Chain A
Amino acid sequence: MQRFEYHRAADTAAAIALAARAPEPHYLGGGTNLVDLMRENIERPRTIIDVTALSSAIEARPDGGILIGAGAKNTAVAEHRAIRERFPMLARAILAGASAQIRNMATVGGNLLQRTRCYYFYDDAAHCNKRKPGTGCDAVEGFNRIHAILGASPSCVATHPSDMCVALAALDAIVHVEGPGGRRSLPFGAFHRLPGDRPDLETALGPAELITAVELPAGAAGLRSTYRKVRDRASYAFALVSVAAALRIEDGKLAEVRLALGGVAHKPWRAATAEAALRGKPAGADAFRAAAEAELAAARPLSGNAFKIELAKRTIAATLSELAGARP
Chain B
Amino acid sequence: MSALAQTSWRPDGASDPLATRHGLIGAPVSRIDGPLKVAGQARFAAEVSMPGLLHAGFVYSSVARGRIKAIDTAAAEALPGVALVMTHRNAPRMKPPALFGTTPEAAGASDLPIMQDAEIHWNGQTVAVVLAETREQAEEAAALVAVEYESLPAVTAFAAAKAHAHPPESVLGEPAVLEIGDAEAALAAAAVKVDLTFTTPRQNHNAIELHAATIAWEGDRLTIHDASQLVTMTAATIAQVFDLDPKQVRVLSPYVGGGFGGKCLWDHQILGAAAARLAGRPVRVVLSREGVFRLVGGRTQTEQRVALAATADGKLDALIHTGVAAMTAHNACPEQFTFPARHLYAARTFKLVQQVAEMDMLANTFMRAPGESIGTFALECAIDELAEKLGADPVAFRRGIEPEKDPTSSHEFSTRHLNEAYAAGAERFGWAKRSATPRARRDGEWLIGMGCATGTYPYYRMPGGAARITLTADGRARVAAAAHEMGMGTATVQSQVAAERLGLPLDRVSFALGDTELPPSPVAGGSNQTAAIGAAVIAAHTELVKALLKLAGNASPLAGLSTDEVEGRDAGLGKRGDAARFESYASILRRAGRDEVTVQAEAPMPLELQKWSMHSTAAQFCEVRVSESTGEVRVARFLGSFDCGRILNAKTARSQFRGGIVMGLGLALTEETLFDERSGRIVNATMAEYHVPVHLDVPEIEVIWTDIPDPRTPMGARGIGEIGITGVGAAVANAVYNATGKRIRDLPITLDKLL
Q: Which residues of A contact B (CB under 8 A)?
A: 1-3, 39-41, 117, 119-120, 122-126, 138, 141-143, 145, 230, 232-237, 240, 307, 310-311, 314-315, 317-318, 328
Residue of A1, A2, A39, A145 near B752 (CB, 8 A) is: A145
Q: Which residues of B contact A (CB under 8 A)?
A: 62, 123, 136, 139-140, 143, 288, 290, 444-445, 629-632, 634, 669-670, 674, 676, 678-679, 681, 683-686, 688-689, 691, 693-697, 750-752, 755
Give the distance in Å from the alpha carbon of A237 to the alpha carbon of B679 in the complex.
26
Quote the shortest CB–CB distance from A101 to chain B (angstroms). Answer: 12
Give the distance in Å from the alpha carbon of A254 to the alpha carbon of B581 in the complex.
93
Instruction: Verify A310–B683 contact, CB threshold 8 A.
Output: no
Residue of B136, B631, B678 near A311 (CB, 8 A) is: B631
Quote the shortest CB–CB distance from A285 to chain B (angstroms). Answer: 11
Instruction: Verify B676–A142 contact, CB threshold 8 A.
Output: yes
Q: For A314, list chain B residues within 8 Å (CB).
A: 629-630, 755
Residue of chain B at shortest CB distance from A41: B143
Give the distance in Å from the alpha carbon of A1 to the alpha carbon of B144 in the complex.
10
CB pairs A–B below 8 angstroms (14 shown): A1-B139, A3-B136, A41-B143, A119-B684, A123-B685, A125-B679, A125-B681, A142-B676, A233-B670, A233-B696, A234-B696, A235-B694, A240-B751, A328-B629
Residue of chain A at shortest CB distance from B290: A40
Instruction: Verify B630–A230 contact, CB threshold 8 A.
Output: yes
Give the distance in Å from the alpha carbon of A165 to the alpha carbon of B550 in the complex.
80
Instruction: Verify A142–B751 contact, CB threshold 8 A.
Output: no
Give the distance in Å from the alpha carbon of A3 to the alpha carbon of B689 in the complex.
27
Instruction: Verify B676–A232 contact, CB threshold 8 A.
Output: no
Give the distance in Å from the alpha carbon of A311 to the alpha carbon of B697 in the complex.
21
Quote the shortest CB–CB distance from B675 to chain A (angstroms). Answer: 9
Quote the shortest CB–CB distance from A239 to chain B (angstroms). Answer: 11
Given contacts A119-B689, A235-B694, A240-B751, contact A142 B140 (CB under 8 A): no
Given contacts A117-B688, A315-B629, contact A232 B751 (CB under 8 A): yes
Give the distance in Å from the alpha carbon of A117 to the alpha carbon of B630 in the complex.
22
Q: For B697, list chain A residues within 8 Å (CB).
A: 233-235
Instruction: Verify B143–A143 contact, CB threshold 8 A.
Output: no
Give the distance in Å from the alpha carbon of A2 to the alpha carbon of B123 in the complex.
24
Instruction: Verify A2–B691 contact, CB threshold 8 A.
Output: no
Instruction: Verify A2–B630 contact, CB threshold 8 A.
Output: no
Residue of B139, B686, B696, B751 near A230 (CB, 8 A) is: B751
Instruction: Verify A232–B750 contact, CB threshold 8 A.
Output: yes
Give the distance in Å from the alpha carbon of A1 to the alpha carbon of B135 in the complex.
10
Residue of chain B at shortest CB distance from A40: B290
Given contacts A119-B689, A315-B629, A318-B630, contact A232 B683 (CB under 8 A): no
Q: For A1, list chain B residues within 8 Å (CB).
A: 136, 139-140
Residue of chain A at shortest CB distance from B445: A328
Q: For B634, list chain A residues within 8 Å (CB).
A: 234
Q: For B674, list chain A residues within 8 Å (CB).
A: 119, 143
Instruction: Verify A311–B140 contact, CB threshold 8 A.
Output: no
Instruction: Verify B755–A311 contact, CB threshold 8 A.
Output: yes
Q: For B685, list chain A residues within 8 Å (CB).
A: 123
Quote the shortest CB–CB distance from A45 to chain B (angstroms). Answer: 13
Quote the shortest CB–CB distance from A327 to chain B (angstroms). Answer: 9
Residue of chain B at shortest CB distance from A44: B143
Give the distance in Å from the alpha carbon of A123 to the alpha carbon of B678 in the complex.
15
Give the distance in Å from the alpha carbon of A142 to the alpha carbon of B685 in the complex.
15
Q: For B689, list chain A residues within 8 Å (CB).
A: 117, 119
Instruction: Verify B683–A120 contact, CB threshold 8 A.
Output: yes
Q: For A141, list chain B residues within 8 Å (CB).
A: 678
Q: For A39, list chain B residues within 8 Å (CB).
A: 139, 288
Q: For B679, list chain A residues within 8 Å (CB).
A: 125-126, 138
Q: For A125, list chain B residues within 8 Å (CB).
A: 62, 123, 679, 681
Q: Specify which of A3, A232, A328 lies most central, judged by the most chain B CB atoms within 10 Å of its CB.
A: A232
Q: For B691, list chain A residues within 8 Å (CB).
A: 232-233, 237
Given contacts A145-B752, A314-B629, contact A126 B683 (CB under 8 A): yes
Residue of chain A at shortest CB distance from B136: A1
Given contacts A119-B683, A143-B683, contact A307 B755 (CB under 8 A): yes
Q: For A120, list chain B residues within 8 Å (CB).
A: 683
Quote the shortest CB–CB distance from A154 to chain B (angstroms). Answer: 18
Residue of chain B at shortest CB distance from A241: B630
Given contacts A125-B62, A143-B674, A314-B630, contact A235 B696 (CB under 8 A): yes
Give the distance in Å from the alpha carbon of A318 to the alpha carbon of B629 in the complex.
7
Give the distance in Å from the alpha carbon of A36 to the alpha carbon of B608 in the complex.
53
Q: Specify which of A40, A236, A237, A318 lies most central, judged by the most chain B CB atoms within 10 Å of its CB.
A: A236
Q: For A2, list chain B residues within 8 Å (CB).
A: 140, 143
Q: For A117, list chain B residues within 8 Å (CB).
A: 688-689
Residue of B629, B676, B686, B693 near A233 (CB, 8 A) is: B693
- 12 further A-B contacts with Cβ under 8 Å, apart from A143-B674, A233-B697, A235-B697, are A1-B136, A2-B143, A3-B140, A124-B62, A138-B676, A233-B691, A233-B693, A314-B629, A317-B629, A318-B445, A318-B629, A328-B629
Give the distance in Å from the alpha carbon of A196 to the alpha carbon of B632 in the complex.
33
